[in-house]
Structure 1
Amino acid sequence: MGGNEVKILRPLVHLLVPLFVHWIAEEMTVSVLVDVTTRALCPGQSSCPEVIYITGVQQTVVGIFKMVVLPLLGQLADEYGRKPLLLITISTSIVPFAILAWDDSRAAVYVHFVLRTISYIFSQGSISCIAIAYAADVIEVGKRSVAFGWITGLFSAAHVLGNILARFLPEEWIFEACVNLFVERWNSIKDTIFVFRNRIGQKELISSIYPECISIQKICSETLKRISLISFFYELGMSGISSILLYYLKAAFGFNKNQFSEILLMVSFGSIFSQILVLPFINAIMGEKGVLCLALISSIAYSVLYGIAWARWVPYLSASFGVIYVLVKPSTFAIISKAAISSDQGKAQGLIAGVQSIASLLSPIVMSPLTSLFISSDAPFDFKGFSILVASISMVISLGHACMLNLERPDKATANNKRPCGEEAIEAPLIAQP
């Protein structure tokens, strides 16, 4: 890492370290959770349609509430500051895994799904949005792509370490270790993140939420509309694939926790390199739009290869494209950040995250029953990856919109609208002054 990057990241160290450990704790549970839930709900079976349906219902419920909660949390982060919202969202992840650390029976798994659904509503997507908004507060506009690449790169690094721990730790220790890490990092954020100034004004919060969102749309209407469509169709396909991928691999190729960890580890390890080292270089050459288009092309190849996988080695080849498609996130964050003024960073990120949640709501309506049908003995024809191939169509549409994306500076957009961004456009200082 060069000296310039050290200077850029210095204001973020106290945030990135606890988030990094939090992401490790979450990733530790991903692969083992498949085995635990399948064993509890479908004992003695290699696949479990009930788990797939429950996961689909969970994703649907989360999507419904996140459409409202994510923009609201973005608004609250702009008004009350980033620290209180981070503490609230991170704390919701503790109890669901504490349940499984205590008991992994059928009843405990059902309770876990209920509590984890509530946790997802408040934490899935919102933690990243608040972290990105914080980075936009303390990093100059021209250097944010580097910072966003490091945030997403550390997320990938957390995937690597989490999967290593999941592979080598005994299964009965994983959930207990996860809970301990959650609690420790919550305390770390509480003690180390700067205290933020309460930015609430004379207006009531509820009455200001939707006018502020409308203000964002007016500021950069074309840019936000286009990136909303890109994010919607990309998330529609990718979230559907992610929700059923491990169950598909288990049914089609008999993969278990070790193979899951190998695939996730390979993608995450390559993603660290691409987001931290490669992204700053290619972003300077291609710009955010070029990086986004390249990443979307890679996501299409990723989904098509998974869908038509004919041997056990093909999923590993498909997973290698994840090294490139992970650049969708940081490039999208950078585009949104450039499209919004500093006082609207939380609302802008929350607005797009809300659009993504709509896609997450819709995708399981098709993906869960379609996957369950084609991995069962009642499939109309032998094509277990058919649902994944269908999902790739959505990513093709997203690529089409990305090619038509016309980046617009917020000051230019504001001039076009001939009005400022509402009455609260002037941002209060992020860090409370002594």
Structure 2
Amino acid sequence: MENLSNNGLSHLFMTVFLHCFSIFMVIPSITDITMSAICPGKDECSIAIYLTGIQHTLIGLGSLIIMPLLGNLSDTHGRKVMLMLPLTLSIFPLVILAYSRTKYYFYAYYVLKTLVAIVCEGNVHCLALAYVADVVPENHRASVFGVLSGIASSAFVCGNLSTRFLSVASTFQVAAIVAIIALVYTRMFLPEPLIKDQMSTKGIETICLLEKAPKNKVQLFKTLPSFNDVLCLIRNSSTLLHAAIVSFFAHVAHVGLDSSLLYFLKAQFHFNKNQFADLLIISGIAGSISQLLLMPILVSALGEEKLLSVGLLFSCFHILLYSIAWSSWVPYASALISVMSIFVMPCLKSIASKQVGPNEQGKVQGCITGICSFASVVSPLIFSPLTALFLSDHAPFHFPGFGLACAAFAFMIAFIESFMISSACPVISCRLSNSDFEEP
């Protein structure tokens, strides 16, 4: 069993690395391609900012439903089966821009990417976390979650480093090839984890029986998550409730940073693909060092709750420094601070995983990720107008980084809320009663 777990983790890490490599390596090029297709020859374009915000909102709305669904279905049908879906779909948008990056191909990519990201965005990582929770004991789970995030950060570095030396066309061609390799590798080598069917006896066990479903419904509907599943999990664990609130505000800030930063740097300092790649490489290296080397040490010394607060505080400083950047070297200095800000999501996922038993890890990871998806809906509605307004000539006052400063404030709210998270770890079960579905 231990050999199976170790082999499964090593193959899982490779799957995550290959998938993240293909996704992250195209990020530095997307801003330039978007600007060239919509506002050619300009360094500031409100339409591009709004389109990016609309895309984030649509992805968040869809993911709010799809993420808990896939997580819950993975508890029943297996992690590997559900992983194959996002790994397959993520190939198609890359193929479009690998073929051409002209205006109409960009719009085709934009539409397909939005639809595919509803299923793919964050789901590979979500299902990978559930896989880790299946095969790793609770006392080592936070460290392995950190290693998993470190693997993703390493892929982030490698992807952006390769982009630095590739043409735009070659970047998307290589990304599409790597995405196909990730799919084939997962299909051939990743074993399905063995999930124990019984609940842990540690802590408090709360059984939430959902309303009896009609007896003529198909068996699949027993596994479909509902809003009641999320409410049940949160209502019966104050720790999970506060973790959900922290997740929401942290992800609001994170999406605000992602949707605003590159447009801010292009408008303020005329950054291009290569400079974006340099900045992301620095941030990725800092994140890899943090998660692979520092986190296993710090989580043992401080615990997940305190380390979460440390990560949130440094995340606030990290974005605040971006917002007041007065020279082109300041963003690079700010990127280095991410070495202490990258702990947030691994700690939150580990805290959440301890709130349920081994056969509901997909559900709880899907619920937390679904809350992050809801934040992805709210965030662009706030930060896209703010970014477009304060980068335009009609800003009420001169502060081009005002949107980023607001993102830093959201991280500060999450930091304050993190002190409410208790170290107690009750085990909760919000599952359908089998008797509710038995035929007479």
What TM-score do the two structures reach when normalised by structure 2?
A: 0.89
Q: Which residue of 1 aligns with 2:338?
A: 322
Instruction: Judge conservation of contact 1:79–1:199 (CA < 8 Å) in 2.
Output: no
Q: How many Å separate the matches in 2 of 1:17 and 1:182? A: 12
Matched, 1:168 2:165: yes
- How far apart are residue 109 of structure 1 and its match? 0.6
Matched, 1:228 2:225: no
The CA deviation string for residues 368-395 of structure 1, in whole angstroms up to 9 with x for no partner, is 1111111112222221101111121111
Q: Secondary structure at the match of 1:339?
A: coil
Amino acid at match of 2:336: S
The CA deviation string for residues 275-328 of structure 1, in whole angstroms up to 9 with x for no partner, is 011111111111000110000000110111111111112111211111111110
Q: How many Å separate the matches in 2 of 1:297 and 1:158? A: 25
Check 1:420–1:370 CA distance in 2 against 1; reply closer, same or farther (3 A cut): closer
After the TM superposition, which residues 2-401 of structure 1 pair with which residues of structure 2 at under 5 Å, given as runs? 9-195=6-192, 204-208=219-223, 209-210=225-226, 212-217=229-234, 220-401=236-417
Paired positions, count: 413
Amino acid at match of 1:234: A
- How far apart are residue 361 of structure 1 and its match? 0.4
Q: How many Å separate the matches in 1 of 2:78 and 2:233? A: 19
The CA deviation string for residues 58-79 of structure 1, in whole angstroms up to 9 with x for no partner, is 0111111111111111111111
Q: How many Å separate the matches in 1 of 2:292 and 2:184? A: 27
- How far apart are residue 254 of structure 1 and its match? 1.0
- How far apart are residue 108 of structure 1 and its match? 0.7
Check 1:249–1:420 CA distance in 2 against 1; reply closer, same or farther (3 A cut): closer
Q: Which residue of 1 aligns with 2:419?
A: 403
- How far apart are residue 102 of structure 1 and its match? 1.0
Instruction: Judge conservation of contact 1:216–1:344 (CA < 8 Å) in 2.
Output: no
Q: Secondary structure at the match of 2:170?
A: helix
Q: How many Å separate the matches in 2 of 1:113 and 1:289? A: 39
Instruction: Judge conservation of contact 1:80–1:196 (CA < 8 Å) in 2.
Output: no
Q: How many Å separate the matches in 1 of 2:123 and 2:302? A: 29
Q: How many Å separate the matches in 2 of 1:114 and 1:181? A: 22
Bigger proportion of residues as helix? 1
Amino acid at match of 1:295: G
Instruction: Judge conservation of contact 1:101–1:172 (CA < 8 Å) in 2.
Output: yes
Amino acid at match of 2:384: S
- How far apart are residue 167 of structure 1 and its match? 0.4
- How far apart are residue 199 of structure 1 and its match? 11
Q: Secondary structure at the match of 2:41?
A: coil
What TM-score do the two structures reach when normalised by structure 1?
A: 0.90
Amino acid at match of 1:150: V
Amino acid at match of 1:163: N
Q: How many Å separate the matches in 2 of 1:99 and 1:244? A: 25
Check 1:206–1:199 CA distance in 2 against 1; reply closer, same or farther (3 A cut): farther
Instruction: Judge conservation of contact 2:247–2:368 (CA < 8 Å) in 1.
Output: yes
Check 1:334–1:195 CA distance in 2 against 1; reply closer, same or farther (3 A cut): closer
Instruction: Judge conservation of contact 1:59–1:364 (CA < 8 Å) in 2.
Output: yes
Q: How many Å separate the matches in 2 of 1:11 and 1:185? A: 15
Q: Secondary structure at the match of 1:355?
A: helix
- How far apart are residue 35 of structure 1 and its match? 1.3
Q: How many Å separate the matches in 1 of 2:340 and 2:81? A: 34
Instruction: Judge conservation of contact 1:8–1:143 (CA < 8 Å) in 2.
Output: no
Amino acid at match of 1:145: A
Instruction: Judge conservation of contact 1:23–1:155 (CA < 8 Å) in 2.
Output: yes
- Structure 2: stretches of 5+ with no match in the other structure: 198-214, 435-440
- How far apart are residue 420 of structure 1 and its match? 8.2
Q: Secondary structure at the match of 2:311?
A: helix
Q: Tell me the percent identity.
A: 34
- Structure 1: stretches of 5+ with no match in the other structure: 425-434
Q: How many Å separate the matches in 1 of 2:4 and 2:188? A: 23
